[in-house]
Chain A
Amino acid sequence: MTAVPTTSSGTSTRYDRLILPDRVHGSLYTDPAIFAEELAKIWHTTWVFVGHESEVPQPNDYVRKKLAMQDVVMTRDKDGEVHLLLNRCAHRGNQVCDDQKGNSSSFRCPYHGWTFRNTGELLGYPYNKGYGGKNKLELGMGRVPRVASYQGFVFGSFAADGPSLEEHLGAAAGEIDRLVGLSPEGSVSLTAGWLQHKTRANWKLLAENETDGYHPQFVHGSIFGVTGSPIGALYSDASTAVTRNLGGGHSENDLRPEFRGFDEPMRWFGTTPDRVPDYVARMEAAYGDDARRRLVEGAPHVMVFPNLFIAEIQVFNIQPVATGECVQYSTAVQLDGAPELNRRMVSQSIGSVGPAGMLLADDTEMYERNQRGVEALQPEWLEVSRGLVRERVDEDGFTIGAATDETGMRGFWKHYKSLMEA
């Protein structure tokens, strides 16, 4: 592990010393005490992506999820409201739900038969005279205090108070809007199942990499080369794409300048309108003249702090496990009303992501080697300075850099620091 710098300079905080405008300290990725503090100040405080409403489509559907190392059950009650329950019986702390998913209005703990509504409320317990009769206990399953969704993406916050989900998402909400705007029905589903990729690296290495436009030509050169893929060029130094700090720790690789230059509908998806005629017709019916712009500009490539990554046609949910371990859950976006595209999104996702993915297995190899690297004592620091010399502010007031710049990482660290110092 890298040592934490101790040279204190007056009023500066610990994180002032670890996070500088152009570099961050290696201990941020290796120190178990920092990881514990992150759990409290980030994962158990801010809004964290959990899943999607489409995973519990029917009343009383439920699915088990991970939220900041907690085993939670995402339920939809009979009235349609979505809840996040901690999977723990109020009696003796036993795990209540064992199946990964199911449909039930209530859950019965297998240990002593305590029964809960899928809202978490205690419904009853066997042999109630032992407690003086029924309704004598004010106990329920634990609930994630705040649950909210945006365009069907469900987030939970363990903090009873704090910024609303909309405030947390800020400008990143517009990127989620861009994604659902590629559906003729204006909505997406995440119903293609989740690949679960165990990753022996600190979660922040992933969050930083997701909008790092510097690595694709190197890490993914092997697959781009053999398929003749046009993706690599989007991330070259000659690319007109930009890296944007969206604020709030969110960032994106905005590839639209490149696609606008080509002005070819569906190029972002590697196809042409004549191969997906029904989809194009439905988009035109839904959006009129604006359909063409949507089909030219394509899907977003955005990292939503701290754990939601939308990579054009895939959605990733990053969950921490330990200082040096996390899990990447990934699935294929399904655009409602676009069956022609959805099957290919599944196929392309299988080829690209997950433990055997021809792209993500190599990213993950880099995360794991990176974790080993930062454990070395010298030179202590990691650079995040690329592009500082050419950063500028766009017409909307966001800081942007070139396609290969570390503008997104700097935005991540600024927000991270503000939360850790709170």
Chain B
Amino acid sequence: MTDPAIPDPSAGPQHDIVAGGSMRTGRFVVPGVGPVVESEFASVSVDLDHEGNSVRLRIEDLRTGRVRHLDALELEAVVWLPEGHLTQLLDPSSDRWRG
């Protein structure tokens, strides 16, 4: 139920509204290490690295500081990974927590 006669604030004078921010909106950038791709499960910065003779993607696990570079061919391989393959990589035992 509603009362359409209740005044509508969007009609009135305007104020600047300062929105609250969250890292998980993807609008958060760590100076020097780039934009952050984050969920409650992981936090990774992504940036382009121009130090080599070709550009590379620099990704950093912000929770541990571990960094990996991916070149164009490696990134292409990720794009072409079958879904099942990618899922296997998400198994905690597959690499990071073996044993």
- Residues in A lying within 8 Å of B, measured CB to CB: 78, 97-99, 102-108, 113-115, 117, 123-129, 134, 216, 220, 223-224, 227-231, 269-271, 301, 311-314, 343-344, 347-353, 358-359
CB distance A312 to B3 under 8 Å?
no
Chain B positions 31 through 42: 1 when the CB is less than 8 Å from some CB of chain A, otherwise 0 = 000000001111
Contacts of B83 in A (CB 8 A): 78
**Nearest CB in chain A: distance from B38 CB, A:** 9
**Nearest CB in chain A: distance from B61 CB, A:** 13
CB distance B1 to A216 under 8 Å?
yes
Contacts of B7 in A (CB 8 A): 351
Measured in the bound complex, the distance between the Cα atoms of B5 and A325 in whole Å is 31
A99-B39, A103-B39 known; A227+B2 contact, CB < 8 A: no
In residues 37-91 of chain B, which contact A (Cβ within 8 Å)?
Answer: 39-42, 83, 87, 90-91
Chain B positions 15 through 43: 1 when the CB is less than 8 Å from some CB of chain A, otherwise 0 = 00000000010000000000000011110
Among residues of A, the one whose C-beta sits closest to the C-beta of B94 is A124
> What total of chain B residues lie within 8 Å of the partner, measured CB to CB?
26
**Nearest CB in chain A: distance from B81 CB, A:** 13
Among residues of B, the one whose C-beta sits closest to the C-beta of A112 is B92
**Nearest CB in chain A: distance from B20 CB, A:** 13
CB distance A311 to B2 under 8 Å?
yes
Given A125-B92, A312-B1; 18 other pairs, CB 8 A cutoff:
A97-B40, A102-B39, A103-B39, A104-B40, A115-B91, A124-B91, A124-B94, A126-B92, A127-B98, A134-B93, A220-B3, A227-B3, A301-B1, A311-B2, A312-B2, A344-B8, A352-B2, A358-B6
A125-B93, A344-B10 known; A311+B5 contact, CB < 8 A: no
CB distance A347 to B91 under 8 Å?
no
Contacts of A104 in B (CB 8 A): 39-41
Contacts of A352 in B (CB 8 A): 1-3, 6
CB distance A347 to B3 under 8 Å?
no
Measured in the bound complex, the distance between the Cα atoms of B98 and A126 in whole Å is 7
**Which of A97, A113, A351 has the largest number of chain B CB atoms within 10 A?**
A351
**Nearest CB in chain A: distance from B94 CB, A:** 7
A126-B92, A126-B97, A127-B98 known; A224+B40 contact, CB < 8 A: no
Among residues of B, the one whose C-beta sits closest to the C-beta of A352 is B2
CB distance B90 to A224 under 8 Å?
no
Cross-chain contact of A348 among B8, B42, B92 (Cβ < 8 A): B8
Contacts of A115 in B (CB 8 A): 90-92
CB distance A348 to B2 under 8 Å?
yes
Say whether chain A's binding surface is mostly helix, strand, loop, or mixed: mixed
- B13 located at the interface, meaning its Cβ lies under 8 Å from any Cβ of chain A in the complex: no
Measured in the bound complex, the distance between the Cα atoms of B4 and A230 in whole Å is 9
Cross-chain contact of A351 among B6, B39, B90 (Cβ < 8 A): B6
Measured in the bound complex, the distance between the Cα atoms of B10 and A314 in whole Å is 18
Measured in the bound complex, the distance between the Cα atoms of B99 and A98 in whole Å is 28
**Nearest CB in chain B: distance from A85 CB, A:** 15
Contacts of B8 in A (CB 8 A): 344, 347-348, 351
CB distance B6 to A348 under 8 Å?
yes
Cross-chain contact of B2 among A103, A124, A349 (Cβ < 8 A): A349
Measured in the bound complex, the distance between the Cα atoms of B97 and A311 in whole Å is 52
Among residues of A, the one whose C-beta sits closest to the C-beta of B83 is A78
> Can you list 30 A-B pairs, Cβ within 8 angstroms, ordered by A?
A105-B90, A107-B41, A113-B92, A113-B97, A114-B92, A115-B90, A115-B91, A115-B92, A117-B87, A123-B87, A125-B93, A126-B92, A126-B96, A127-B98, A128-B91, A134-B93, A220-B3, A223-B3, A223-B6, A230-B5, A231-B3, A231-B4, A301-B1, A343-B10, A347-B8, A347-B10, A351-B3, A352-B2, A359-B2, A359-B3
CB distance B92 to A99 under 8 Å?
no
